[in-house]
Amino acid sequence: MQWDIVIGLEIHVQLATKTKIFSGSSTAFGAEPNTQASAVDLAMPGTLPVPNEQAFRYAVMFGLAVNAEIGRRSVFDRKNYFYPDLPKGYQTTQLDHPIVGPGFVDVDLADGSSKRVRIHHAHLEEDAGKSLHEDFHGMTGIDLNRAGTPLIEIVTEPDMNSAEEAVAFAKKLHSLVSSIGICDGDMSQGSLRFDVNISLKRKGSDELGTRTETKNLNSFRFMEQAIAHEVERQMDILEDGGRIIQETRLYNGERDESRSMRSKEEANDYRYFPCPDLLPVVIDDAFIESARDLLPELPDERKARFKKRYGLNDYDARLLSDDARMATFFEETASHGKDAKLAANWVLGEFSARLNADDKTVVQAPITGKQLGQLVARIADNTVSSSGAKKVFEALWNGDGGNADAIIEAQGLKQVSDTGALEQMVDEVLAGMPDQVAQYQQETDPKKQKKMLGGFMGPLMKASKGQGNPKLFNEILLKKLNH
Amino acid sequence: MTISREDIEKVAVLARIRLDEEQIPALENDLGNILSLVDQLSAADTDSVEPLAHPLDAVQRLRTDDVTETNQREAFQAIAPATEDGLYLVPRVIE
């Protein structure tokens, strides 16, 4: 039987505020346990929450970036459950009146098509603390530094139909929240956490199947694996005539296995009710406009600009515009490089490959966009051949001698473009290869001729010690041989 | 509306309240009375009334994003039943 996969995501995004959502405690990562947990965060009797304006501003910025309606009157509710890393016994969240209403994100897929994923809503809420289950004499250790860190939980419609689409959307969202500066984007520290809702339905059917939720995926790779794993699990059950139980599952990426966490059919009854400690928050036009003013260029806008201004194709423009730091690096390279397309090729080719090989981010790269741009300019004006340029790049990367020109000079990589000198070399080489010349001239198939031309290039490059301009060599060869 | 014994047991579990068997009949009666009161309220015509999120007709004030809290861990942990390495210790939680 054939099945359609239906995927919806819930994404928890930690907002990059300095303080918590309801208290003036610092949210800085990595502090000693419980040194950033105040009386409010600990739910001491008599304390009251005071909401952080910046959390609202960031949430509104997100809403504007995903073309969403902004909730003008935003209400907090209590979601009640008991867990020791939640001292109040409830999470303060938003149920019926979230800060961000329906919106959408357009995602580019590998085959060049575009997919629209609708956002159902996004609401503000607080993060919980951390439970450490290592052995404390048979007890559990609780660190409440994270308790009260502001989150937006983004809920999508079930619009994705494959792991590829879900991961592409997740990456786009990561790029979006990082580039508008509302989240530090550090997934290894849990700044973005993904819950994946998956169900299967008979191919073409309108009736949705029962879904499961796989929680707390904090890398794109695990997300992709977890989806593949869960789709297979559900398919096996359904093919055997079984039925899917609505439940929350935990995925173990190291072992590629999942287990049921709790069955939603029985336990969860959160008894939501409006939080009496907090009044409705009213967002007016002035607040929305001031948030809009803070929005930098969005990845989609940047992509459009790169295509128009630099003449890049869709694929290159997307790769260069997704990450704001990569985009800045490219623009610096292009501004010094004379040829924007060539600059794009070098940033996406040699430069990106080297970043991957050294496991570095753009910011950690040992060369600047200006340095790479100066090299690109020398390739563009034929001072250096592309093979020579790779040597220059290597030297720049290793920090051997400041700029491209100095390295070209020092290593003698300057390409010979003096036609007189090149012509002389061609004459000499051809004189030494009379048989091949005769063969070439007797050949009538232009394809074979072209191939034979390559046979002369080797000796020519050797004669010029690798410094002859290959393009000019080619032109001169054609002229001489066709005479 | 009436409340069943099962409802009471479920609410007790959710609220983490241990009930003795003999307390249940009295609670059934008390909670049943409260629900009757709610039923009376439900009879009121509220078609033209907007739902109220808060009894005060006021708007929440927001705070600027400045760190105002200092580290008071020592004071808070002095009244905690068990701590170690700066952590609060609680009976082991197994998911």
Could you report the per-residue pLDDT of B27-43, keeping only the tens digit for each? 999 999 999 999 999 88
Contacts of A261 in chain B (CB under 8 A): 95
Q: Chain B residue with minimal CA distance to A139? A: B92
Where does A21-108 have alpha helices with state H? 53-65
**B52 lies in a domain?**
no
Closest CA to A299 of A68, A80, A65: A65
Strand partners for A119: A103, A156
The shortest C-alpha distance from A279 to chain B (Å) reads 5
The shortest C-alpha distance from B84 to chain A (Å) reads 8
For testing contact with chain A, the best of B10, B63, B95 (most A CBs within 10 A): B63
Report helix, strand or coil for A4: strand
- A91 vs B13: which has the higher pLDDT: A91
Cβ distance of A279 and B59 shorter than 8 Å: yes
A447-456, B6-15, B64-73: least confidently modelled range? A447-456
Pick from A23, A35, A55: which is nearest to B73 by CB?
Answer: A35
Cβ distance of B53 and A75 shorter than 8 Å: yes
**A368 and A331 in contact (C-beta within 8 Å)?**
no
**B69 lies in a domain?**
no
Interatomic CA distance for residues A227 and A8, integer angstroms:
11
Report how far Cα A21 is from the mean position of its chain's Cα atoms.
27
Amino acid at A121: H
List, as ranges, residues 17-56 from B with C-beta within 8 Å of A: 53-54, 56
Q: Kindly report the CA angle at A33 between A217 and B84, in degrees rounded to 5?
A: 115
Give every strand in the sheet of A139-143, ordered side by side. Answer: A130-136, A139-143, B87-91, B83-84
Cβ distance of B92 and A138 shorter than 8 Å: yes
**B20 lies in a domain?**
yes
Q: Chain A residue with minimal CA distance to B63? A: A52
**B35 lies in a domain?**
yes
Strand partners for B89: A141
Strand partners for A409: none
Task: Tally helices (H) and strands (E) across chain A.
Answer: 16, 15
Position of tokens 């919980």?
Answer: A128
Interatomic CA distance for residues A86 and A43, integer angstroms:
9
**B28 lies in a domain?**
yes
Residue B4 burial (CB count, 10 A): 10
Give every strand in the sheet of A247-252, ordered side by side. Answer: A103-108, A114-126, A150-156, A3-14, A192-202, A212-217, A247-252, A257-263
**B87 lies in a domain?**
no
Q: How many contacts (CB atoms, under 8 Å) link A and B? A: 124
**A21 and A50 in contact (C-beta within 8 Å)?**
no
Q: Does A42 touch chain B (CB under 8 A)?
A: yes
Cβ distance of A24 and B68 shorter than 8 Å: yes
The shortest C-alpha distance from A286 to chain B (Å) reads 15
Structure token digits, residue A390: 């790779």
Interatomic CA distance for residues A191 and A184, integer angstroms:
7
DSSP A397-441: HTT-SSSHHHHHHHTT-PPB--HHHHHHHHHHHHHT-HHHHHHHH
Contacts of B82 in chain A (CB under 8 A): 139
Interatomic CA distance for residues A251 and A225, integer angstroms:
9
Cβ distance of B53 and A281 shorter than 8 Å: no
| Positive or negative: CA dihedral B39, B44, B45, B49 | negative
**B11 lies in a domain?**
yes
Q: Residue A82's pLDDT is what?
A: 87
DSSP one-letter code for B3? -
**B44 lies in a domain?**
no
Q: Does B77 touch chain A (CB under 8 A)?
A: yes
Q: Chain A residue with minimal CA distance to B77? A: A34
Q: Does B92 touch chain A (CB under 8 A)?
A: yes
Q: Identify the domain containing residue B24 by its residue range.
A: 5-39
Interatomic CA distance for residues B19 and A189, integer angstroms:
42
Strands (DSSP E) found in A203-272: 212-217, 247-252, 257-263
Phi–psi pair at B87, nearest 5 degrees: -95, 150
Pick from B59, B76, B95: which is nearest to A280 by CB?
Answer: B59
Give B37's contacts (C-beta < 8 A, 6+ positions apart). none
Task: Put residue A127 in one of left, alpha, beta given phi > 0 → left and psi -120 to 50 → alpha.
Answer: beta
Q: Kindly report the CA angle at A250 between A247 and A252, in degrees rounded to 5?
A: 150
What domains can you pick out in chain A, each with its CATH number? Answer: 3-291 (no CATH), 297-410 (no CATH), 419-481 (1.10.10)
The total number of structural domains in chain B stands at 1
Contacts of B58 in chain A (CB under 8 A): 279
pTM beyond 0.80: the answer is no
Pick from A50, A52, A136: which is nearest to B89 by CB?
Answer: A136
Interatomic CA distance for residues A99 and A58, integer angstroms:
11
Q: Burial level of A215, CB count in 10 A (0-12/13-18/19+)?
A: middle
List, as ranges, residues 83-112 from A with C-beta within 8 Å of B: 83-84, 97
Pick from B59, B72, B77: which is nearest to A38 by CB?
Answer: B72
Interatomic CA distance for residues A247 and A262, integer angstroms:
6
Report helix, strand or coil for A256: coil
Q: Does A260 touch chain B (CB under 8 A)?
A: no
Contacts of B91 in chain A (CB under 8 A): 139-140
Q: What is the pLDDT along chain A (483 residues), one digit of tens a residue?
A: 799 999 999 999 999 999 999 999 999 998 999 999 999 999 999 999 999 999 999 999 999 999 999 999 999 999 998 889 999 999 999 999 999 999 999 998 988 899 999 999 999 999 999 999 877 888 999 999 999 999 999 999 999 999 999 999 999 999 899 989 999 999 988 999 999 999 999 998 888 899 999 998 989 999 999 999 999 999 999 999 999 998 889 898 888 888 887 654 455 688 899 999 999 999 999 999 999 999 999 988 999 999 999 999 998 999 899 888 899 999 999 999 989 999 999 999 999 999 999 988 898 899 999 999 999 999 998 888 888 899 899 999 998 878 888 888 888 788 777 777 888 888 888 888 888 888 888 888 888 888 888 888 888 888 887 778 888 888 888 888 876
Average pLDDT in chain B = 90
Pick from A17, A42, A278: which is nearest to B60 by CB?
Answer: A278
Amino acid at A372: L
Q: What is the ipTM of this complex?
A: 0.86
